[in-house]
Amino acid sequence: MMMQLPETTQQKNSLLNAMNRFIGAVNNMDQTVMVPSLLRDVPLDEDRELSCVKSDLEEGDMYSYYQLLKSIRRDIEWGVRCATADERRMESMKITRTNSSASTSSSASSTSSDDDDEEDEDLEKQFQFHLTGLHGVLSKLTQQANCLTKRYKQEVGIGGWGQ
């Protein structure tokens, strides 16, 4: 049995912890929402924290957003849904063309170590950019899952007034 140590500030900002917080919030939402159909026709725009999502969804009700949050959780836990066979075939053709043209151009000219350093730096910047964005999105989704849970409790009249 391992003893859990308190999280440091850096650990709280880790991507794994952000994913775990999101998954926990969606699990809590899923356990709280016993009758998801009650969320149908409950508009998102009544809640400031959820109203920004309304433009992204065709249906502007909380049920659609409930399903979306569960779908994102599933993608995090199990990986993104597989692409269709045609998309995979097209992607592999694109990669093959890119690799063959890259090998042709690399055999014609040698790469300097400065170019490699620039590419590595660029990859690091890209990684930091996407990591920061993903962390921000997960934080917002976690907040919105918690908000949806709270809103459901209000709709069905469960929980205390102070929650």
Low-confidence ranges of the chain (pLDDT < 70): 1-10, 45-59, 81-114, 159-163
Element (H, E) at 123: helix 113-156
Structure confidence at residue 82 (pLDDT): 57
Structure confidence at residue 44 (pLDDT): 74
Rounded CA separation 106/102 (Å): 6
Query: Is pTM, for the whole model, over 0.75?
Result: no
